Amino acid sequence: MVNLKKFMLLNGYHWILASRSPRRRQLLRDMGFGFDVIPASDNAEDAIQPDELPTQYVERLARQKAEDVADSHCMRKKTLSDQDSRPLVVIGCDTVAVCHNEILGKPKDVNEARRMLKMLRGNEHEVISGLCLIHVATGKTIIQHDRTVLFMNNISDEILETYLCTQQWQEKAGAFGYQDGINWMTIVSGSESNVVGLPLELLIRMM
């Protein structure tokens, strides 16, 4: 893998993560990635549109989040260090799980989380992330997506309910967090960081 820290120094950009996700922030920090965080507004997210594929949906939301920050925040010098003259690049990302052609976003409550997990157990499913980079000064935009295939064991209702009681399903697409160390979810193919919420391998290629 590319040494990301050296890679960032060579490129000399000021990176802005347009996300509230603590998991995305941690993934970048663990790679030695220097960045600032300016979350996108809630208005940057909306529901899937008719006939929109999951890959199109996550790419669109990733772009909307990045554009929201680029348009509303990054052009205001007071929000960033006045001493930093590096070109600004915004990173937008959105992640969903897909099972039986149904998009599973973040569950609204425990009942929805239970329904999602019951759908997933005993089946393969995909985690798909859209990733968008916007160079603020030029408006140049790059959008791609990544997908990871997982299999969830046919766990008992007791195990499922125990997990729900931990509250770890909250704010996670598909009602689970692979990073939580659950042993009934395995990766069949693709990126582990994508399942956590930010496909680092794809991000490096796009940079």
Q: Tell me the pLDDT tens digit for each residue of 79-95.
A: 455 556 788 999 999 99
Residue tagged active-site, from 42, 68, 84, 94: 94
Report CA-CA distances (Å) from 134 to 89, 94, 137: 5, 15, 9
Q: Is 94 considered catalytic here?
A: yes
Query: For residue 31, what is the DSSP state?
Result: T
Look at residue 16 and give its three-state secondary structure: strand
Q: Tell me the pLDDT tens digit for each residue of 114-123.
A: 999 999 999 9
At a CB cut-off of 8 Å and minimum separation 6, what does 23 contact? 177, 179, 196, 197, 198
Of residues 38, 3, 1, the one with CA closest to residue 17: 38
Of residues 148, 146, 164, the one with CA closest to residue 156: 164
Cβ contact 127:147 at 8 Å: yes
Of residues 47, 69, 78, 56, the one with CA closest to residue 133: 69
Residue 182, pLDDT > 50, answer yes
Q: Answer with the residue of higher pLDDT: 12 or 79.
A: 12
Dihedral sign for Cα atoms in the order 22, 25, 27, 31: negative
pLDDT at site 121: 95
Query: pLDDT confidence of 76, banded at 50, 70, 90?
Result: low
The hierarchical CATH code for the domain 4-206 is: 3.90.950.10
Q: Tell me the pLDDT tens digit for each residue of 169-180.
A: 998 889 988 888
Domain boundaries, the chain: 4-206
Q: Mean pLDDT of all residues in the chain?
A: 89
